[in-house]
Amino acid sequence: MASATAILFPGQGSQTPDMRDLVARVRPQLLEMAVAAVGEDPFPRADEGTNFAQPAIFCASLAGWEAMGRPAGDWMAGHSLGELGALVAAGALDEREGLELVALRGRLMDESGRAAGDGSMFALMGAGASEHAPEIAEAHDLTVANDNSPQQVVISGDKRRFPAAMAQAKELGLRAMELDVTGAFHSPMMAGAVPEFERALAQTTFRTPGTTVISAVTAQPFTDPRRELADALTMPVRWRETMLTLRELGAERFVDVGPGRVLTGLAKRTLSGVELVNA
């Protein structure tokens, strides 16, 4: 009997040097669509900013899923921008509309981050990271942005507050590392990106998915994708809880369609006794 399977779509930070080659080979039309949506090829500039990284990773994830034979699985989930890839793969969202939303999302988040000025993110790593992150964030008026695993959490906000917060983390036995990003993603500092993204979502057609998709904002199945996708700009990515939800639903096999192996790595740190598969 086949194992109950969850298909996972990664977010920013999962890019790899060879991901464009996969898209060009497996989904050349999707690459053409990405160039049109962004205004240039996003792949060579994927490391420069979220406006290029998001459409590049979205395309690479769908190409990875295609290369695996388009597995439907029993559930799907996406980390941050990966939610849009999961909704496309599940049949809830047209691929072209999904790509246009991703390109807009990346641009708006980049612009909002630059307009806010002093926003950034840092990662907490080590045993107890998920337990201590909320108290560190609250003490320094910061936000838990990505609850990735019990040993890895990303905190977001005004980077002028980072030195004191990172010092507290060190006192608690955690490692802290500032990330090379252009804004305080998944925090209130992204509020400027929300109105235009909401308008685009209001004009987007969503259908009932063929496979249940779990929202990383609620760690439960999507019920209102327009609201949940808009909320995802300023609210935390509850990835650790999403993995626990999938396990509770019965998932025994977790497939990361890539690029990279970020999500199977996080699943390994969160779950035990499950099968992990990479594209």
Helix/strand/coil for 172: coil
Alpha-carbon distance values, 205 to 33, 37, 235, 258, 268 (Å): 19, 18, 23, 26, 35
Radius of gyration of the chain from Cα atoms? 18
Q: Exactly one of 14, 61, 80, 187 is catalytic; which is it?
A: 80
Nearest residue to 35 via CA among 49, 20, 47: 20
Q: Look at the block and give the residue holding tokens 């808009």.
A: 230
Helix/strand/coil for 42: coil
- Per the structure block, which two tokens stand in for 116? 């806010």
- Per the structure block, which two tokens stand in for 237? 């990515």
Q: Give the number of C-alpha atoms closer than 13 A to the C-alpha of residue 274, restricted to the C-beta side.
A: 25
Per-position b or e across 238-250, b if 16+ CB within 10 A of its CB: bbbbbbebbbeee
Instruction: Specify whether 132 is catalytic.
Output: no
Cis status of the peptide bond prior to 259, with omega within 30 of 0: yes
For residue 49, the tally of other CB atoms under 10 A from its CB is 20
Q: Exactly one of 140, 156, 186, 215 is catalytic; which is it?
A: 186
What are 78's strand-pairing partners?
A: 9
Given a contact cutoff of 8 angstroms between Cβ atoms, the answer to whether 22 and 61 are in contact is no
Instruction: Specify whether 186 is catalytic.
Output: yes
Which residues are part of the catalytic machinery? 80, 186
